[in-house]
Amino acid sequence: MNRGKTTVLRFLKSKTYRRGQGLQRSSGKGKRPISTPIQDTHLVDTLKQQRKLNVGKRPTTAKAVRNGSNFPGSLRTARRRIAKGGRKARNPRNKCTLTDGDVVDREAWCRVQVLRPITFWEEDVVFIDCKCFRIMLSEAQRDYARMGKVTFVIRTKSEGLLPECVKPGPQHKPGNAGLEKIFMAVFRGRVVAWVSFRKWNARTYTRCLNILSGGLRLRGVLGNGRRVVLVHDNDPSLKSGLGMRHAARLGFDSLPLPVRSPELMPHDFSMWKRILGVMQAYEDAPGYVRESVAAYRTRLQDTALGLAEVYVRSVQRKVRENAARIIAKGGQHINEGTKRTGER
């Protein structure tokens, strides 16, 4: 037999294994399933229902789902069934589940802000957000990043274990050069603040605000009684007492977004993806030569500062459009319509 030893042993085990007085099995691994496919489906449906009705905004636990569905298996088996049901979903959930309270808050926020003119979002608002970029310099590190984007890929025998067809595991992970943590602020179609930091907290946020206010004062849009609206997400450091008070002293009026609303932040639904796409297109070019960490950070900053003003203004205006679409859907998530071309 032109087969390996493991294959032969597996074949012999399948032909000789018997469990008690039961019928011969095609596989000798583990016990028989304790639940039926209908019970497994009911377990996953119960999970989705409890997530939707969890108005207290507390995470839904596997124990509560198991008790609510009367699942006959153990808690560990219930966790496996839940994970298996999520992987087999036709449309994977790439956004966090909204509770009833989230839906109400999102719709109420959008109904107020959609009344503002389009020039408000384009001329009078500063959008701020943070992002961690993983520094990948070698081809093995970039292959590992490509594996992270593999979702529901059916691999043929000829493709084998190609990096673009394999989900990453501990055995694939190579060493990396660290993370580049960035605070970016956008105003009137331009990146007006680009700050690299090591640890994100309220004190780091105040330092970023000082840099941002200095740039806006040089442009003549802040100071002498003039104030600017600061739009940000619900990061604890951004909504901390220290951060809010410091922003008010510098002349900023904070406008927090509703929770779990990436469709209302231009960084999340467009700009970070655009920066990643340009960076990765450069790295995938045939003539790419491995660079140093300092060169990578410089190229990352140049890519962000080089975003076209027409493009940045368009995504700022799109916030009002997305708010109207959220109202039309009753506060539910919407599809931003952005492509991930070029992104690993």
pLDDT of amino acid 272? 95
pLDDT of amino acid 148? 66
Res. 126: pLDDT tops 70: yes
Number of domains composing the chain = 3
**Three-class HEC string of the chain:** CCCCHHHHHHHHHHHHCCCCCCCCCCCCCCCCCCCCHHHHHHHHHHHHHHHHHCCCCCCCCHHHHHHHHCCCCCHHHHHHHHHHHHHCCCCCCCCCCCCHHHHHHHHHHHHHHCCCCHHHHHHCEEEEEEEEEECCCCHHHHHHHHHCCCCCCCCCCCCCCCHHHCCCCCCCCCCCCCEEEEEEEEECCEEEEEEEECCCCHHHHHHHHHHHHHHHHHHCCCECCECEEEEECCCCCCCCHHHHHHHHHHCEEEEECCCCCHHHCHHHHHHHHHHHHHHHHHHCCCCCCCCCHHHHHHHHHHHHHCCCHHHHHHHHHHHHHHHHHHHHCCCCCCCCCCCCCCCC
Higher pLDDT, 277 or 343: 277
**Claim: this prediction has a pTM higher than 0.75:** no
Pair (47, 128) in one structural domain: no
Read off the pLDDT of residues 213-228 as tens digits, 9 standing for 90 and up: 999 999 889 888 889 9
pLDDT of amino acid 59? 62
**pLDDT > 90 in the chain, percent:** 48
pLDDT of amino acid 87? 47
Read off the pLDDT of residues 159-212 as tens digits, 9 standing for 90 and up: 666 666 676 777 667 776 788 999 999 999 999 999 999 999 999 999 999 999
Across residues 103-113, what is the average pLDDT? 95
Read off the pLDDT of residues 66-79 as tens digits, 9 standing for 90 and up: 888 889 888 888 88
Higher pLDDT, 65 or 58: 65
Pair (43, 130) in one structural domain: no
pLDDT of amino acid 343? 38
In this prediction, residue 339 has a pLDDT band, given cuts at 50, 70 and 90, of very low
- Average predicted confidence (pLDDT) for the chain: 83
Across residues 4-30, what is the average pLDDT? 63
Res. 18: pLDDT tops 60: no
Res. 330: pLDDT tops 60: yes
Residue 334 lies in a domain: no
Pair (240, 284) in one structural domain: yes
Pair (37, 22) in one structural domain: no
pLDDT of amino acid 49? 83
Residue 194 lies in a domain: yes
| Host domain of residue 52 | 33-93
Residue 109 lies in a domain: yes
In this prediction, residue 297 has a pLDDT band, given cuts at 50, 70 and 90, of very high
Pair (237, 252) in one structural domain: yes
Pair (227, 125) in one structural domain: yes
Pair (15, 37) in one structural domain: no
pLDDT of amino acid 93? 47
Pair (201, 56) in one structural domain: no
Pair (79, 3) in one structural domain: no
In this prediction, residue 29 has a pLDDT band, given cuts at 50, 70 and 90, of low
pLDDT of amino acid 164? 63
Residue 214 lies in a domain: yes
